[in-house]
Each structure stands twice: as C-alpha cells, then as structure tokens.
A and B are shown apart, each in its own frame.
Chain A
C-alpha cells in the first residue's frame, strides 16, 4: 500500500501523464460547476428533478448514435450530447405533464426516470447487436468513462462550465428569491416558471458536461451531496454555493487522481464516494450549530 503514495501524489500534482492530468482538470471543473448549480437546485427543492433529467438523457444518446450511423457520420460527442439534451427535455416535459394529474410530482418523477432509462437500455442493447465498431464505450455514459477523454472533451467541460457559472452569477438574485419565497417573488413580477426553466436548463448543462466523467446515473450525487455538505457549514447562500463548488472540485481532482494511480478504481464512483465522505465528516463537525 505504501508504494502507492508516490503514484497518487504524482497524479494529484498532474505528473501522472497527460491523460490523467486532463481527467483531473475536467473532473475538478465539473465538480465546481455541479456544486454551485446544485446549491440553487437543492434550495429550490428540485433535487430529484435533476435525477429524472439525467436518466432521461439515455434514450437520446442511443438515438443520436443511430441517427449519425444512418447518415454515415462518424460518432461525435457533440451530436450525442445534443441527443441527450433533447431527450432530457422530453423527460422534463413528461414529468410536468404527469405531475399535473392526480399522481403528483414524486410519482411522476419516478415513472419518467425509470421509463426513460429503460428505453435507453433497450436502445443501447439493440446497438450492441449492430455490426459496427463505433458503439464501443457508449455504455460509458452510464457511470462515466474517463480513460478515453480527449483534450477537446475537457475543453468542452471547462468552457461549458464557465458559461453555466456566468449564467448562475447573472441569475443568482431571482433564483434565491424564488427558492425562498415563491409567492412574494411572483407578486414582485418575477416570471417564476421562466426562472425555474432557466435553472433546469443549467442543471441539464451540468448533466451533459458530466456524461463522460461521472455518467448520467451518478451526476445527481455531484449536484446534491456537495451542496448538502456546504449547507451544514454556513448560513449564507453565497458562501454555500462557493463552498459546495470547492467541495465538488476537490472531490473531482482527488477522485480522478486516485483512479489514475490505482487503475482498478473507476473515476466517477470514486468522486461520488469522496463527496459523500465530505458529508459524513461534516455531520459531527457541524453538530450543535444553530440551523
């Protein structure tokens, strides 16, 4: 075990090869953005909506792959992400439509989440049976697959993440007001549904950016756990968002380093476990603080 420390340290300091360094950077950027967006998401009490949104991306990934195959195009990440986004929006629409009936929102989320995911698995299974070499690694979108990440992929995470953070900065005032007091916000003239839609769009952005790193099943952990941990430490929204971002970034960086140094450890799940460790440690340390 002792002999592993130099390797872990090398990975942490970006000296474990170009791919490991890229993954570290991408995972840290993703953790930062997910923590910040997740703070607003959890305060708005829409955590489970993000889970439905993420699972609903899967059929879109498969369909986008089939579409580009049919058109004779090479497999490309942006096209798969576009498919994922469209199918997530369909899932969101389905949740909102179902929630308006008697079944209520939590049942609607459960039904849509599992149905879309099931449809995605069916499509992916069909794709596995096709005689084409390109489908290899599609299932990596489930739990993340960082091994094949390219410089361009990390560039997408960094630039896309920066845009999401910019949008959150611009919208933090109305998002906070709506999360705290929707009624008063409405009377002040804020278009509550429109800001909610903007928040879900930003969450969708995080989900798409996280497809390769932690995958669509685990991204919800990066949105919720760092925010929940940060909430234990502070009573101020701004501090909470920054702290959640920091926790996410550190978990991403360390998790990616650990999995680079210990090849059998999958990156995404390790990152998620690290965020949960931060939460577990924080509970006793913040005990006794006035809620």
Chain B
C-alpha cells in the first residue's frame, strides 16, 4: 500500500494551471523529496492532496479518503504561512498537535504536557518551552512546527519546505528526526529546494513540473538527464 496515491490532480490559479493531470504516489516507510522548478506546483501538490485548496482528481491516504485517515497524517506548513506574533508559547503550539486527542473540552493532563515536552526534546527545543514563539529564530520556529507534528504521532508527515531559511544546525536536527521517523516505518514527504542535498537526505524523489515526470529511488530517478528535462536544460548547479 502507498502512503499517498493521487490521480489526475488538477489545480487552477486564475487562468494558470498549477497542476495538470498530476498522478503519482508516495511510498510508505520512505523519505521522499518533491523536487521541481519554481512554480512547478510542489507546495500546491501537498495542499491539494490535503484538501486545503480546491482541486479535482482522486487522492487516497493509506488506501482511504483523507477524512478517514486524519489521525495518521501530520502536516507541517511553510513557516511563513502563520503569524509568529501570535500570543502563544512554544509548548502551547506543540500541544496543538494533541487536539484530536483532547477535543473541545478534554483536560490537558500532566501526561499530555510531558509528551509535548518529549517532542520538543526530540527537536532540541526543550529549553524553549515557555518562550513566546515570536522570540525564536526561523530555524527554532521550524523545529517547533516539527515538534507539533511529532505530537500528532502520525504515520505520514508532509512537510512544506522544512529547510527554507533555517540554519545548518536546524537542518541537521530536522533531518535526523525525519530519518528516525522513517526508521520506525513512518513515511515522510518534503518539498525540497536544495538539489545538492537530495541524495544525502532522501530515499526517493518525485520530479514535478505541473505534472509528475517521474518518481522512484534517488539512485535511479535523480539522474542528470531527468533533471535536465525537469528544469528545461537550465539545470541549477549540482555541487
């Protein structure tokens, strides 16, 4: 079974098609990078699959519609998509990840708080639990977002540009957490910009330019020829 399978996804932004007949899948127990030029629809693919923007086509999570699988799916939006001036502390953001367990009125118990702190510990942010989120650096904010996703204890983690504007320490902390998730048999999908790090970070890659050009193991799919085709000959530097 695939973690995500999508067929004929179409998204339109005004007159511009953002995704055209995009079909493909993401493997379970693997780390997959979504790669493609600017405007290829990488973030759009995640958002459309999650029902965050209007789209047509079919999407299945672990073989079922998202509505039945919400407890198994965690989403880490682009850091820039939220207001970091919001009056909450780091621990409050991580506790948001427990919403499905707590519901409207469920009491926040000590055990919940401990779990949230554990998640912060895993991303190296336990010392910041009581900080206001606006006082964090970009990399720290990204790690808090990841900690919230960890609190959801999902089987599939979808991350939108997790390394955008973060420091090197954060990047390696995040990648270590994602690899440990993969090693536990969970699935990780990330929109990724830095082609140079794809082979070191990811097992699989999905090449996207409005539609899916290829998906497979990095060694087979992430070839100079495929990238030349993906970027229309204007291949960014591969160090």
Give residues in A with beta carbon < 8 Å to B.
43, 170-171, 173-174, 176-177, 179-181, 183-190, 231, 234-237, 239-240, 290-291
Contact = CB atoms under 8 A, between A and B. Distances in A.
B96 A43 contact: no
A237 B81 CA distance: 20
Interface stretch (B1-9, B83-91, B111-119): B83-91
B152 interface: yes
A187 B50 contact: yes
CB-CB nearest 3 A-B residue pairs? A235-B132, A187-B75, A189-B70
Contacts of A239: 87
A171 B105 CA distance: 8
Contact of B134 (A177, A181, A184, A235): A235
A187 B104 contact: no
Contacts of A235: 87-89, 132, 134
A254 to B, nearest CB: 26
B105 A170 contact: yes
A290 B84 CA distance: 12
Interface in B16-61: 47, 50-52
Interface in B120-159: 132, 134-135, 148, 152
B135 A234 contact: no
A34 B60 CA distance: 44
B217 interface: no
A206 to B, nearest CB: 21
Contacts of A179: 86
B75 A236 contact: no
A188 B52 CA distance: 11
B134 A237 contact: no
Nearest to B66: A187
Nearest to A181: B82
B52 A186 contact: yes
Given A174-B99, A181-B82, A237-B87, A186 B51 contact: yes
B96 A184 contact: yes
B189 interface: no
A186 B50 contact: yes
Contacts of B83: 180
Given A187-B52, A187-B75, A235-B132, A180 B86 contact: yes
A234 B87 contact: yes
B104 A173 contact: yes
Contact of A189 (B86, B100, B134): B100
B93 interface: yes
A170 B134 CA distance: 27
B96 A291 contact: no
A181 B77 contact: yes
A291 B148 CA distance: 22
A184 B85 contact: no
Contacts of B96: 177, 180-181, 184
A192 to B, nearest CB: 10
Contacts of A187: 50, 52, 70, 73-75
B176 interface: no
10 contacts: A180-B82, A184-B75, A184-B76, A187-B70, A187-B73, A189-B70, A190-B99, A236-B88, A237-B87, A240-B87
A162 to B, nearest CB: 17
Most-contacted residue by chain B among A181, A185, A239 (CB, 10 A): A181
Contact of A236 (B89, B93, B102): B89
B104 A171 contact: yes
Nearest to B93: A180
A107 to B, nearest CB: 18
